[in-house]
Structure 1
């Protein structure tokens, strides 16, 4: 059994670093949400979300200090104004939390297989477990309030059938087969994530202080609206319901609860998550027309994500992630 100190690997450092940055941002967000929420049941969920983010930051900070690794700047009190007027409704806070837990489960699930030290594995397993609890709590509350948006129902299979014709892959011309359950799932989910994104950039576009940040938010709204229509059309052409916009609203305020840095970073993070969603949806969508649309739309949001990164760099808001050594530079 090894008794000497085991250094963190690149994947462990990168995972902890990303964990710290994201959760320091969510601490700011949930402090504001808790200050504005009126529904006591939703407030309990938001307090749970804040507590988890604070725990994650504390663990990452402790490990970095023990390893002699610089603590990221992330986000702090200067990035939030809890006294700013309400920007979103209570229902939005709940929908936002549900979508963030879904994204966090994907992120933690991707990090965990690349961790080796026992304490790091335990941390990310704990992150997954606690996030699953929050996801369950949020979903149950959405259902109990009658505002959860379920995916469409389809008939149960009465017998097993095999695909016999290449037409199963077709999509542009001729008779199109019905959508598979997996295709429906991803189309429905991507309508929902774009609806949330549209609400976020609409609100942020109202309160951003910098013109280039407002332009970025306006462009994000246009992209979301267009992609919602494309995905919804596939569902409706197959006589399936498209998700209706959530019963939430953006308040008509121009006073910002968050710094432009935080808002730009959050939108960039959500855009990156959207790219991951489209990649997963593409792999699960055999119909050529659907796959082609995912490929095209992936490229569109990839350019939007790049512009978000350029905006963060322009204003000095983007921390450089942990990285390898440039040996060529050292040899000069």
Structure 2
């Protein structure tokens, strides 16, 4: 068993599983704040794409990866603010606003990319984050390559999992978020500002999703392409359902999806005669199955997706 786990192919698969899971996990961690506060953040896809684009452009222009990461997080926060403006302050339909933001960002990033870099054949690139191997820990079977031979943002994401758990379950802010998501009218009567809490949660959600997007261009690939997120924001929504909106559950579910994604990448090289598109469908088919099997069983916050108006609380 130890020999099998130490095989370079197996270790490479484990490393890839975590690497592919990380952007989805970061977006889903952000989604926890939004959905526990009662906001259905369909805009995770567009938020990730904005973070990926802005992070890449800033890194390309400055040569500093961490400035790019910060820029991606700020871009995601800005998208979260736009969503909050419409879904929280104005009270618009959250699904419609989220889809509109996604479509807008797909077009905007494509246009701005060509405006900045032109339409030449040369693909602009940046030097992506190199893996940080933690001596000793990276040699542990199974856990080592999965957790301790990764890029810096992966370690940041791993640290965020317990931080989000502590914030949501052990702080007054987390309790306020739960109250706002379950019964906003009652929370308001207790002196909790529903709109302010939801606005803050969407800013945090955007920041984390933007970080996940920046990971795609600055750590996973070193390039930016049109619609780079390729549905990962929507997969993050399925991760929220499968993980029961709990940070640890989200982490485990994200790793499972990352493993499925890594499996399809390796399946394309098996030479079994299937077109590569059949393998590309695998993570998305898994997403659909998760929603079919678990969406009805998961308990949603009572006020999820319902706009709140202070003058006429629902």
TM-score, normalised via structure 2 length: 0.27
Higher RCO (Cα < 8 Å, 6 or more apart): 2
Structure with more of its chain in helix, by fraction: 2
TM-score, normalised via structure 1 length: 0.26
Larger Rg: 1
